[in-house]
Amino acid sequence: MEFIEEIDNYDWDILKERIYSKTSQDVEIVLKKQRRDIDDFMTLISPAALPYLEQMAQLSRKYTRQRFGNTIQFYVPLYLTNSCINHCVYCGFNHNNDIKRIILTDEQILREVKAIKEMGDFQHLLLVTGENPRDAGADYIQHAMELVKPYFSSISIEVQPLKEAEYRQLANAGLNAVYCYQETYNKARYKTYHPKGMKSKFDWRIEGFDRMGRAGIHKIGLGFLVGLEDWRTDATMMALHLRYLQKQYWQTKFSLSFPRMRPHEGESFQPNVVMTDPELAQIIFAYRIFDNDVEISLSTRESSIFRDNMTSLGITSLSAGSKTDPGGYAVYRSELEQFVVNDDRTPDEVLSAVKKQGYEVVWKDWDLALQ
């Protein structure tokens, strides 16, 4: 059984009603437990839990220190292309947006690598593309991996969902992790935000995580985009998805992310749901209390103040100095961006902020030789 078959067992509206019916008494019971299930997770992300953020923060800090110590991993994204066949209404790479499209050449990729290495001792590289399987498919991605492998210890990708054989191809070439955003688990509303392109196929996208698992990907990253549907219900569906994947692919590591929408070039989609900073903190704490071992990342979509506050309270990895336009490290061009970053500090500035809190930055905790 794949998760696409299991997801139909959960009714979006019923889950939402259960979450919003939780009480302060429910929260107090859950906070005293040693182990938490899905129903407990719904309690922790419910509106009833907001007054208990301080207690949740302390638990989140404790569990994170127990599992990860006083460390934060740094990673950096490298955008290979902004070419995309999809029509996602919230994205700067939308096929309809009148922006210049480029796909980096070998020379341009290596120029980006040089610029990244001059910023800091990054060892974890995330290769990102728009979704253009014809011109930037698995073969192009593998070639890019081969170019950058001499310079980085760990290579991850955030690209269009691939076939199982293609994931296996990339894993054999040294790929460490795959990150994919379902965007929303609300199947009935999914196509509202993804009207055309391969991304409009809900089943193909969500089945991608099973394809990753069967292909033996070392680490799988799940995420949804905050701003489309009720974030508490999306978070619950992703918790269900996480538990399913952990049971099916128990040798795999998992990472979570829940980015909030940011401004971008072209028509600006207005979020249906706005998540406040305290609510973003709540979801971080809730996931950490629910699953002590899962990795949680926080990108430069969030402000420097918020990221600094979360350093010791539940997250395990940060991006730093990010550019979201292909070729942006060597020559920054805002018109090519997927979105505008919020935390525009240099890696050294982020490093200094992390150290001030008594935390150590881990540039490398994996090596391609381990595969």
Closest CA to 95 of 192, 184, 197, 182: 197
Dump pLDDT digits (tens) for 85-115.
999 999 888 888 888 899 999 999 999 999 9
Q: Note down pLDDT in tens along the chain; length 371 residues.
A: 789 988 989 999 999 999 999 999 999 999 999 999 999 999 999 999 999 999 999 999 999 999 999 999 999 999 999 999 999 999 888 888 888 899 999 999 999 999 999 999 999 999 999 999 998 999 999 999 999 999 999 999 999 999 999 999 999 999 999 999 999 999 999 999 999 999 999 999 999 999 999 999 999 999 999 999 999 999 999 999 999 999 999 999 999 999 998 765 555 678 899 999 999 999 999 999 999 999 999 999 999 999 999 999 999 999 999 998 899 898 766 555 666 788 999 999 999 999 999 999 988 676 666 55
Report d(CA 251, CA 137) in Å as an integer: 27
What's the whole-model pTM score?
0.94
Beta carbons within 8 Å of 314's beta carbon, 6+ residues apart: 57, 60, 61, 63, 64, 284, 285, 287, 288, 296
pLDDT at 293: 97
- What architecture is domain 3-370? Alpha-Beta Barrel (3.20)
The residue ranges of every structural domain in the chain are 3-370
pLDDT at 332: 64
pLDDT at 265: 57
pLDDT at 366: 62
